[in-house]
Amino acid sequence: MTLLKSMILSLIIAFSTYSKIPMPRVEWSEKNRKYSLIFFPFIGAVIGGFLWGWWRLSQVLGLGIFMKSAVALSIPVFISGGIHLDGFIDTVDALSSCQPRERKLEILKDPHTGAFAVIGCGIYFILYFGALTEVKSLKAYMLISIGFILSRAFSGFSLVVFPSAKKEGLLYAFSSAAHRKITGIALVIIILLCGAAMLKVDALGGIVLFSAAVLVFLYYRGMYARRFGGITGDLAGFFLQVCELAMVIAAAAVM
């Protein structure tokens, strides 16, 4: 298999797994998904593009800030299919349980939704929506759009450098199949490019949003090691959602 073909198949698998964007069917083999995590941030680029387009359209239509923010809040959920939000909800349930590590991991796999998960999801959407209503500048929306790429680059990077809590599941399937060195280097490059793009858009805003993402990543590193002993797909989704929330709040605070 040529490198180009392998990359194309990996891109298709990444988009078919982490988004609702229609993709052709391909064999979900270890060989085909080897580089999939490299293309994970590309889904963020699609989300950012739609968010940017929506902001421009809402300006043309003269829509109010509440309608603009409501749709902006929904775009990432619709495109991703809520896969990361599901991980956030499961993780909130596990963290709120105050149970031993083994029990927390069982809660992550439990298909039922607990009361703390519902409360956590509600608070998340309220904070996200509230922050979006405070974002009124073109530059701020550009930074948030780049943030969807950055959050996925950090999340993908964690999958290839952090240990898995389980030897099963979607996360383990991707991280174990990934060509770790190439994938890790590619994702670091994407992270640095996102940082440079943010600085170019707005120096202060770029520094604050990038710093917010890094701080959440450091929290994620400590949280998974202390509470779970390794990462899972749900924890990766939790990080991604919290990282994006932090960046939106940061944009609302400084721009």
- The answer to whether residues 132 and 247 touch, using CB atoms and an 8 Å cutoff, is no
- The answer to whether residues 224 and 230 touch, using CB atoms and an 8 Å cutoff, is yes
pLDDT computed for residue 103 by the predictor: 81
pLDDT computed for residue 173 by the predictor: 59
pLDDT computed for residue 159 by the predictor: 86
Tell me the C-alpha distance between 254 and 209, whole Å. 9
**Residue range 21-31: mean pLDDT, rounded:** 83
Q: pLDDT by residue (tens digit) across 94-111?
A: 888 877 777 877 777 777
Instruction: With cut-offs at 50, 70 and 90, classify the pLDDT of residue 174.
Output: low
The residues spanned by each domain of the chain are 40-254
Q: pLDDT averaged over the chain?
A: 89
pLDDT computed for residue 63 by the predictor: 93
